[in-house]
Amino acid sequence: MNANAAPTSTNNLHIAAFHAMPTPQAVQAKLPLTGAAARTVANGRADLIRILEGKDKRRFVVVGPCSIHDPVAGMDYARRLKVLAAEVSDVLMIVMRVYFEKPRTTVGWKGYINDPHMDDSFRIDEGMILARQFLLDVNELGLPAGTEALDPISPQYLGDLITWNAIGARTTESQTHREMSSGLSTPVGFKNATNGEVSVAVNAILSASRPHRFLGISGDGQVSIVHTTGNPYGHLVLRGGDGRPNYDTVSIALAEDGLKKAKLTPNIVVDCSHANSYKKPELQPLVMSDVVSQIVAGNRSVVGVMIESNIAAGNQSIQADRSKMTYGCSVTDGCVDWDTTAAMIREAAGRLRAVLM
């Protein structure tokens, strides 16, 4: 090639194609927010804010599948959880974990929105509509939904149906996600980094509490400069790191101190999964029991817990023949089964009634 010759193109050299997505307004018009769903979201957010402000002495539990892949099994789980939520509502606020986007360390299935058919067809346009329908169905049961805010465009499609958002360990340090969080309509839990470092999450809470300006899209799909007011309801999620837990009394005391030094309210959620249970789902009940013991002993900074739970225990690989797959079993991280979940939540409620009510 002649070194002085102008290249024929310098842009999109690794882009194979662009496929148009329906706008957020178009998806919401197809599946509009119903009155029942709106009440669930509004009441759920208000309850969480009261818990975070110390005006409601209950604790909240974000519990559900590591990821949604089968909407039939997902709604089966949601109906069971709704009954349990009513049973313990005097002491625990239950939020269903509804995760559609999965950050991958290397490669793997990226979630229900990205690849809803689990066949590498990547029909994101269909996945977004299917995800919105699932969220509508869950909220119409009267069950609030929590999710991980991963793709910065997704909240424009789904944000009106979300009660609680998490920012994951891989993205807590990301400026894009801190800016996005500053405009989210929900309380936001920031996880500590994958190496266990808590300061990055504290910094993220501080950053998200401030106003920001950044590039995004509007409801009609227009690329826009987004102006945010800042989110005052950021809080810390401890999930362990580098293969070590960080839910013990010393770790929580250090986390409290870090939040206080940053002049932040010491609100902490403990994720019973991930490094806190050494990625062994069967250890999640022990983690939760330990955390409840700390609250019983007088801790008031732990405002909630997270549990990875499904109908069936463990996890499984995605099979081309779906009939060979176990119903209600995770295709991402391993989970505790429904009976274990119900026992964990009932035991926690029973122990906490004496000290919180």
Give CA–CA dist 72/134, Å, rounded.
9
CB proximity list for 126: less than 8 A, separation 6 or greater: 116, 117
304: left (phi over 0), alpha (psi -120 to 50) or beta: beta
Give me the helices (H) in the chain, please. Answer: 24-30, 35-52, 71-88, 124-140, 154-158, 175-181, 199-208, 249-261, 284-296, 338-356
Write the pLDDT tens digit of every residue in 240-297: 999 999 999 999 999 999 999 999 999 999 999 999 999 999 999 999 999 999 999 9
Q: What is the pLDDT of residue 350?
A: 98
Q: What is the pLDDT of residue 106?
A: 59
Domain ranges of the chain: 24-356
Q: What is the pLDDT of residue 357?
A: 77
Q: What is the pLDDT of residue 2?
A: 65
Give CA–CA dist 103/54, Å, rounded.
32
Q: What is the pLDDT of residue 279?
A: 95
Percentage of the chain modeled with pLDDT above 90: 94
Give CA–CA dist 227/327, Å, rounded.
44
pLDDT at 3 over 70: no
Q: What is the pLDDT of residue 149?
A: 96
Closest by CA to 142, choosing from 63, 46, 40, is 40
Q: How confident is the model at residue 102 (pLDDT cuts 50, 70, 90)?
A: confident
Write the pLDDT tens digit of every residue in 21-31: 999 999 999 99
Q: Kindly state the average pLDDT of the residues 339-354.
A: 97
Write the pLDDT tens digit of every residue in 52-87: 999 999 999 999 999 999 999 999 999 999 999 999
Architecture of domain 24-356: Alpha-Beta Barrel (3.20)
